[in-house]
Amino acid sequence: MRCYFISNNPHNPNPMNHLKTVLFACTLLFTLAGVQAQANYHKGTLHLKKGKAQDVYIEIDFAYPQRFQQGITYLSPDDFEKFSKTGKMKGKMKQKMEPKHLQGFTLEDGRVFKTVWYSDLTGRAIKMIPKRMILEQVADGRILMYKLYSRTTGKINQELADMVFEDRQKLVAYIQDNFQLLIQKDSDHPRNVMHINLLNFIGDNPRVKDNYDNNHYGLQHQFTEKQKMGKYVNKAYEAAFLRMLDDYNQEAEASK
């Protein structure tokens, strides 16, 4: 963030007034940046190995989803309180943890994130070796579902690259409405929903299958040419898919 002061301004006869205006604008920008940084930290609980848990404030910034999917940054409650009061972040406040050290975390607002093993089989260069990632879980039960948000650094697609250079609000909106849905049932690793045979997941429930065939969940309305050729979906597609999974999982739970 840069602020410039031009002393020879012919439209402002008093350079000191101009300097005060510039300093005020800079102070406002830094204040807003600090408020945004604080808003990125969410109260939650880390679920560690051996049943241990730790209450912390976790950084969730959708401008950089890789920062909470490939590892997490968090503050202790005491450090978050200091940060909230002073607006200053000292280096020692930030703590980091890799996916291999936690089973996942939950946020106070109800969102759930789990550490899963995932192999990306959707690209041209298939990555067969699975790696741990911390993904938002959106369905629980016999069938699990996770959301994988696109990274915004490194090798990214052209459409996303263009968005990175737009304003932050547009980038975040794009990330949150263009993501992968990963589905898992009776297997060690989840798979992208655009690259599966759906009958392998819901075919053992005739009622749910019939509902799907009759578009009861509205899912068939969500298939577009773009999605058929790619791996990303949007919130409308997610909502329709979740209506079907919730129906399936509820019945599976009731039949136990």
Residues 150-173 pLDDT 10s: 999 888 877 777 777 777 888 999
The pLDDT of residue 194 is above 60: yes
Same domain, 171 and 97: no
CB 69 within 8 A of CB 120: no
Same domain, 73 and 185: no
Domain span at residue 24 reads 1-39
pTM above 0.85, yes or no: no
Structural domain tally of the chain? 3
Same domain, 229 and 197: yes
Q: Name the DSSP class of 127.
A: -
Same domain, 190 and 229: yes
Which of 75, 110, 145 corresponds to the end of one domain?
A: 110
134 contact partners, CB below 8 Å, separation of at least 6: 68, 69, 70, 71, 72, 99, 102, 104, 105, 113, 114, 115
Same domain, 53 and 32: no
Same domain, 203 and 223: yes
Same domain, 83 and 188: no
Same domain, 33 and 67: no
- Taking only the tens place, the pLDDT of each residue in 208-244 is 999 999 999 999 888 765 655 578 999 999 999 999 9
Average pLDDT on 185-200 reads 93
Average per-residue pLDDT in the chain? 85
Rounded-to-integer distance, Cα 145 and Cα 149, Å: 13
